[in-house]
């Protein structure tokens, strides 16, 4: 089958949800994850859209994810929430945590949520943006199986560990930063390894710690940190927040996010939600607008999150293009639901 079909975000969500439920995911968890899948498609982040759904389903089937898990959220201190994802998907645990986090941050000025026994949370910025949509500055961290070595070393210690910052705007976030600690996503190496195309020097290191242009050698070695030791430092910041401070598995002990082996990865997330009203005095929105304008006024410069916002607008106007064979594959997983 070839060609492309056009879907609405709501249709993408229903398709993904049906496949997840058919694989053995409880309805509420499937919905939480499917909403994020639809948001990724809407923002043009195909790698975390429908393309990922067969893997999610496979991970429920093989037991990497407990589809029936019901997350538990405990309030451990007046400004502190601790979520146990119970080896289910990350999304329902984060959703359950955010229900309490948002009002708590508004009343406390700042509040935080840690998530453990968790899983790959998909696009981290998706979660941070939801805090911004509630009028809060959202700062999120998520860890992953180790793939980046410290500068001078050869063994991976931290994952590609992104952080995300979302700043409230009119409706959508005024600013959304969502960036990993590596030069490039590991999936780019996987793509090149399949096609046999070399990678640019600086993307990855071989098992000997030396730079390589062979994607297969890079996949056996480590991902290069962005900006050398400072990129590793960002990855370490994320590892401390999302794993050590959340009570989750460190990346050096987590099972892979890909494949079916190793059981639940047990990785973690950490989210800070901050009320501008408590810290910023007057003119928070004006200062953010001023800062963003200093970037957008420069030809050739881009505001982080600008592309995703443009993709959202285009998806809402023209629909979301989905490869027909991918649609058929997921519809089959959904069993005609």
Active site residues: 47-48, 188
Instruction: Give 62-113 as a 3 state SS string.
Output: HCCCCCCCCCEEEEEECCEEEEECCCCCHHHHHHHHHHHHHHHHHHHCEEEE
User: Does 274 help bind its own copies (rule: CB under 8 A)?
Assistant: yes
Please identify, using beta-carbon distances, which residue of 2 and 298 lies nearer to its own copies.
298
Helix, strand, coil fractions of the chain, as percent rounded to 5: 45, 20, 40
Distance CA 62, CA 321 (A): 30
Among 194, 287, 307, 337, binds its own copies (CB under 8 A): 287
Across 171-317, the runs of DSSP E, i.e. the strands, are 175-179, 204-205, 211-212, 222-223, 267-274
Please identify, using beta-carbon distances, which residue of 24 and 135 lies nearer to its own copies.
135
* Shortest distance in whole angstroms from residue 188 CB to its own copies: 15
User: Does 85 help bind its own copies (rule: CB under 8 A)?
Assistant: no
Near its own copies in 168-197, by CB under 8 A: 175, 177, 179, 183
Near its own copies in 11-30, by CB under 8 A: none
* Shortest distance in whole angstroms from residue 302 CB to its own copies: 7
Near its own copies in 241-260, by CB under 8 A: 241, 243-247, 250, 252
Q: What are 189's two structure tokens?
A: 């190496």
User: Does 310 help bind its own copies (rule: CB under 8 A)?
Assistant: no
Three-class secondary structure of residue 210 per DSSP: coil
Among 220, 302, 307, 337, binds its own copies (CB under 8 A): 302
Please identify, using beta-carbon distances, which residue of 137 and 330 lies nearer to its own copies.
137
* Site map 125..164 versus its own copies, x via CB under 8 A: ------------x-x------x--xxxxxxx-x-----x-
Distance CA 294, CA 327 (A): 42
User: Which residues lie below 8 Å from residue 255, measured CB to CB, with a gap of 6+?
Assistant: 64, 145, 261, 262, 263, 264, 265, 266
């Amino acid at each position: 089958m070839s060609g492309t079909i056009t879907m609405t975000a709501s249709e993408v969500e229903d398709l993904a949800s049906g496949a997840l439920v058919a694989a053995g995911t409880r309805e509420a968890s499937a919905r939480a994850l499917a909403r994020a899948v639809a948001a990724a498609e809407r923002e043009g982040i195909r790698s975390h859209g429908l393309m990922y759904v067969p893997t999610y389903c496979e991970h429920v089937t093989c037991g990497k994810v407990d589809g029936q898990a019901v997350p538990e959220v405990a309030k451990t201190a007046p400004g502190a929430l601790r979520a146990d994802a119970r080896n289910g998907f990350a999304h329902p645990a984060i959703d359950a945590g955010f229900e309490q986090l948002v009002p708590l941050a508004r009343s406390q000025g700042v509040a935080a949520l840690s998530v453990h026994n968790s899983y790959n949370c998909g696009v981290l910025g998706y979660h941070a943006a939801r805090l911004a949509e509630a009028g809060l500055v959202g700062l999120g961290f998520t860890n992953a199986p180790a793939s980046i070595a410290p500068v001078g070393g050869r063994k991976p210690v931290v994952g590609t560990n992104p952080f995300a910052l979302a700043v409230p705007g009119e409706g959508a976030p005024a600013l959304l930063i969502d960036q990993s600690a590596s030069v490039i996503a590991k999936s780019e190496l996987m793509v090149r390894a399949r096609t046999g195309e070399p990678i640019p020097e600086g993307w990855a290191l071989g098992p000997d710690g030396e730079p390589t242009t062979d994607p297969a050698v890079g996949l056996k070695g480590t991902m290069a940190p962005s900006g050398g030791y400072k990129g590793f430092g960002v990855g370490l910041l994320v590892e401390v927040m999302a794993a050590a401070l959340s009570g989750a598995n460190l990346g050096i002990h987590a099972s892979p996010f890909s494949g079916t082996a190793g059981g639940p990865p047990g990785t973690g997330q950490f989210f800070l939600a901050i009320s501008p009203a408590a810290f910023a005095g007057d003119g928070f929105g004006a200062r953010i607008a001023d800062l963003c304008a200093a970037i957008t006024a420069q030809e050739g410069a881009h505001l982080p999150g600008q592309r995703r916002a443009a993709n959202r607008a285009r998806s809402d106007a023209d629909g979301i293009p989905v490869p027909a064979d991918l649609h058929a594959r997921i519809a089959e997983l959904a069993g005609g639901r």
